[in-house]
Structure 1
Amino acid sequence: MTHLRQIMLEELRRRNYAESTIHAYIHTVEHFSRHFHRSPDQLGPEHIRQYQAALFTRWKLAPNTVTQRLAALRFFYVQVLKRGWSVAETPYPKKVLHLPQVLSQDEVAHLIDAAEFPFHRILLMTLYATGARRTEVAHLKISDIDSQRMVIHIRGGKGRKDRDVMLSPKLLEALRVYWRGLKRKPTDWLFPGNRWHTASHPVSTKVLWNACQQAAERAGLDHRRIHPHTLRHCFATHLLEAGADLRTIQMLLGHRDLEETTIYLHLSRRHLSATGSPLDVLPIRGEGEPTQSA
């Protein structure tokens, strides 16, 4: 471990950054250094400018990903090297808003029923029933399932924030069936790792990703590019269509800002169809009707 890498790790950890963010920031600085074949402390604003351009032109990264890479470099130069950072010289790219993919309720049911293994099925059910992120589902503990209050505790979510989500009676019954089927009962993690589900560590997020991919292929939905976050989007959109308010959905998702949650207004059929098109009130003739002569 180099001296600079050690300092950066210490600076990130003493600010209580999430492990995923720490990994992403360290990886970015290492990638930046390898790109120019020089130590990062020997690189300056011109190199950052060239690197930013290459992220778009060579590696074809999305604007939001490029923004994260620049944030990592800014942290390195400001907090580790104690140098200045000019926003004018290194502007962040404009954000691009893409509407997420959402399945119908019938498609979600078809996806869950297409799971190849019972373990994959319970993972898909938990993702959809809670709206939790894949890391949050993977790190659920047995003690997080509160059947007395019918809630699930999500601990250490994005931004290190805890929250509670509803415990669906249908999910609770499925979890009990899953529990009875385990040959070796876990003592800590709800979904233990390894193929026998007996490890002392949680299942990896890759398993949840594969569960979605394989079920989508078996269900004939593989053209929809379904991943664990798709079920989170479905959870929020279907709640909104069922009449839940945005503030409640914001709390369930663990969004810091209500603006993040408003994207689901663009996806809800109930909200989209609530307002008619202005075309419908125009006094124009219908197709096939004769034109009125003067």
Structure 2
Amino acid sequence: MNWSAKLINHRDEERIAVEFEKDKELIQRIKLIHGARWSQQKKLWHVPDTKENRERFHIIQKDTKISQEGQEHLKQFIRWLSSKRYSPNTIKTYSDALRSFLVYNQAKNICEITNADVLDYNNDYILKNKLSASYQNQVISAIKLYFRTVRKTKIEVDKIDRPKKPKTLPNVLSKEEVKNILDAHANIKHKMMLSLIYSCGLRCSELLQLRPLDIDSKRNIVLIKQAKGKKDRITPLSPKILELLRTYYQLYKPKTYLFEGQEPGTIYSPKSLQSVLKQALQKANIKKPVTLHWLRHSYATHLLEGGTDLRYIQELLGHNSSRTTEIYTHVSTKSLQQIKSPFDDL
């Protein structure tokens, strides 16, 4: 059986891509590996980049050692991030990114690293390995933040350039498509989770962190605490959603979180929530590669098309900058539908 394996970065995650001609036995074998997934976009199977999987697929282990000095600086950086109360996810993202940069420059003392070394890292590691612009941006953020905390350095932080950001538009569903997705589940818990994401424009993490007390039925609002950027915000609660929530609450009686896992008091897993959406898409016969974030994008766009002021949408989504919210004006069809194509006059 012929197959090949290589290291890839898929959606900012280090993975091992396994390619082979369609073979039922190989497919069954790879499915047994924990974390194995099929990429419809890349048309290949990929598994987590672990020591066990590298040995399994004969991937030569690259040098991932970090100098003793680098280890000490990395520890200090993590302590500094923690003292600034960065979220655990951000701390992991930044520390992993900095580790990658320090591994690349392990032959140099920290104080000897220059802007030229950052340029070499971008060209000889990130671009060479075809890593994404968003991952490169994460590394640059970590390097900038880190070297601002280091006193003796040759790095000029303000002269470190970020990659050119691609101008992509948010993916938006029609109201009919959203309705089909939300109506797909007979299970009220699954229906409730997807409905709340769309009706309030929530991020996945925001939904899973909700607690029963965050639903204010007297004022018809949802309180979203310590969301992205350590910010609290409120969003209107639809009367239809409130009715659905009351039915859900009577059936499930959640204790700690509004949506709990199999064990009472435990948080519902993001992976399970993604699975809920996947099942809804299959039942609704929607072939688009819809993600949970598409529901948030659709909420914002539908608000804009309904006449809601952009400033209010910015507050509802929790955006720091109005520029972030303005992107929805490019996908709203309200104004576009009023434009008559010259083709119609032919």
Same fold (TM over 0.5): yes
1:25 Cα deviation after fit: 0.3
Q: 101-110 or 46-55: which moved more?
A: 46-55
Give the equivalent residue in structure 1 for 2:144.
74
Gaps of 5+ in 2: 1-67
**Partners of 1:144 and 1:154 within 8 A in 2:** yes
**1:189 maps to which residue?**
257
Residues of 2 paired with 1:91 and 1:36: CA distance?
18
Structure 1 residue corresponding to 2:96, chosen from 9, 27, 41: 27
Tell me which of 79, 97, 101 is aligned to 1:10.
79
Is the 1:241–1:270 contact (alpha carbons within 8 Å) kept by the matching residues of 2?
yes
User: How far is the alpha carbon of 1:265 from its aligned partner?
Assistant: 0.7
Q: Answer yes or no: is the 8 Å Cα contact 2:260–2:266 preserved in 1.
A: yes
Residue number in structure 2 paired with 1:208:
273
Matched, 1:260 2:324: yes
Taking the aligned partners of 2:319 and 2:155, their CA distance within structure 1 comes to 29
Q: In angstroms, what is the RMSD of aligned CA positions?
A: 2.7
**Which whole-Å CA distance do the structure 2 matches of 1:55 and 1:230 have between them?**
28
1:147-182 CA distance string (max 9 Å, x none): 000000011111111110011111111112221222
1:74-113 alignment runs, 5 A limit: 74-80=144-150, 82-86=152-156, 90-113=160-183
Greater RCO, CA 8 A, separation 6+: 1
Identity %: 32
Given that 2:169 and 2:327 are in contact with CA atoms closer than 8 Å, whether structure 1 keeps it comes out as yes
TM-score after normalising by structure 1: 0.83
Structure 1 residues 170, 271: closer, same or farther in 2, change over 3 A?
same
Q: Cα distance, 1:20 vs. partner?
A: 2.2
- 1:149-168 correspondence to structure 2 within 5 Å: 149-168=219-238
Amino acid at match of 2:80: E
| Counterpart AA for 2:99 | E
The alignment covers a number of residue pairs equal to 275
Identify which of 58, 70, 94 aligns with 2:129: 58
**TM-score with structure 2 setting the length:** 0.72
8 Å CA contact 1:150, 1:167 repeated in 2: yes
SS of the equivalent of 2:222 reads strand
Aligned with 1:155: secondary structure?
Answer: strand
- Which amino acid in structure 2 is aligned with residue 50 of structure 1? D
Which one has a larger percent strand, Structure 1 or Structure 2?
2
Aligned mates of 1:81, 1:208 — CA distance in 2: 44
**SS state at 2:149 partner:** helix
1:257-286 deviations in Å (ceiling 9; x for gaps): 111111111111113234556x58xxxx95
Q: How does 1:103-182 map to 2 (within 5 A)?
A: 103-115=173-185, 117-182=187-252
In structure 2, do the counterparts of structure 1 residues 268 and 143 end up closer, same or farther at CA, with 3 Å as the change threshold?
same
Change (3 A) 1:197 1:8: same
Q: 1:8 to 1:109 in 2, by over 3 A?
A: same
d(CA) in 2 for partners of 1:43 and 1:118?
A: 59
- Report the Cα offset of residue 186 of structure 1: 2.9
Q: Give the aligned partner of residue 16 of structure 2.
A: none
Structure 1: any 5+ residue segments left out of the alignment? 288-294
Q: Label 1:242 to 1:81 Cα distance change in 2 as closer, same or farther (>3 A).
A: same
- The structure carrying a bigger helix percent of its residues is 1
Measured in 2, the distance between the counterparts of 1:121 and 1:93 equals 40
Equivalent AA in structure 1 for residue 321 of structure 2: D
Confirm or deny: 8 A CA contact 1:18 1:159 kept in the other structure: no
| Change in CA separation of 1:41 and 1:188 when aligned onto 2, cut-off 3 Å | same
